[in-house]
């Protein structure tokens, strides 16, 4: 066998082995959650120098104010039945991050980039939900939301509109 035949055989073996090494749905969902930067807001300790990576996507105690709309705190995305997404169906989770509407009809904060996420394909949306379902359930109720004029009970950032 010459070196070209050996190289071709090695390449063929890699190609044939590739499907066995393909990522799982949960791995794909984890990848998507990272590139969609879900943790940039939804980690406990988000917006601080020390986000808690031990309980990913368990919600933030620091919110943000949007003038005229109120103060919003990034939700707990873990499968906790009381404080997270545990009671939401997969379809309800996908509807929320692709249309900006929760199962109770409330509109998500305008800071949630659902208009961008609306373009996710069905396989990736399902994978993202599979990842969220795989997370450790964390009981963590985030504050709010607070309507404009309400007094928030936890720290928040203010968005200042130009005059």
Kindly report, residue by residue over 73-118, the tens digit of the pLDDT.
Answer: 999 999 999 999 999 999 999 999 999 999 999 999 988 999 999 9
**pTM (two decimals):** 0.83
Mean pLDDT across 118-129:
98
Listed in sequence order, the DSSP H helices in 1-119 are 3-17, 25-35, 39-42, 90-99, 114-117
Q: Is residue 55 part of a domain?
A: yes
| Cα atoms found within 13 Å of the Cα of residue 110, Cβ hemisphere only | 8
> In which domain, by residue range, is 105 found?
24-158
Mean pLDDT of 123-140: 98
Helix (H) or strand (E) holding 70: strand 70-72
Q: Is residue 163 included in any domain, yes or no?
A: no
Q: What is the number of structural domains in the chain?
A: 1
Work out the pLDDT band at 59, boundaries 50, 70, 90.
very high
Average pLDDT on 135-151 reads 95
Measured over the CA atoms of residue 10, residue 16, residue 19 and residue 20, the dihedral's sign is negative
């Amino acid at each position: 066998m010459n070196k070209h035949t050996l190289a071709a055989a090695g390449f063929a073996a890699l190609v044939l082995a590739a499907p066995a090494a393909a990522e799982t749905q949960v791995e794909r969902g984890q990848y998507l959650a990272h590139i969609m930067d879900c943790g940039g807001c939804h980690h406990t300790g988000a917006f601080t120098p020390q986000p808690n990576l031990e309980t990913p996507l368990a919600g933030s105690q620091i919110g943000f104010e949007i003038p005229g709309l109120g103060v919003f705190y990034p939700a707990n995305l873990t499968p906790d039945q009381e404080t997270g997404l545990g009671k939401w169906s997969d379809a309800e989770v996908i509807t929320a991050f692709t249309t900006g509407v929760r199962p109770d009809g409330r509109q998500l904060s305008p800071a949630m980039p659902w208009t961008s996420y609306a373009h996710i394909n069905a396989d990736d949306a399902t994978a993202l939900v599979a990842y969220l379902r795989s997370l450790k359930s964390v009981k963590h109720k985030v504050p709010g939301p607070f309507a404009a004029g309400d007094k928030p009970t936890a720290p928040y950032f203010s968005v200042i509109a130009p005059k």
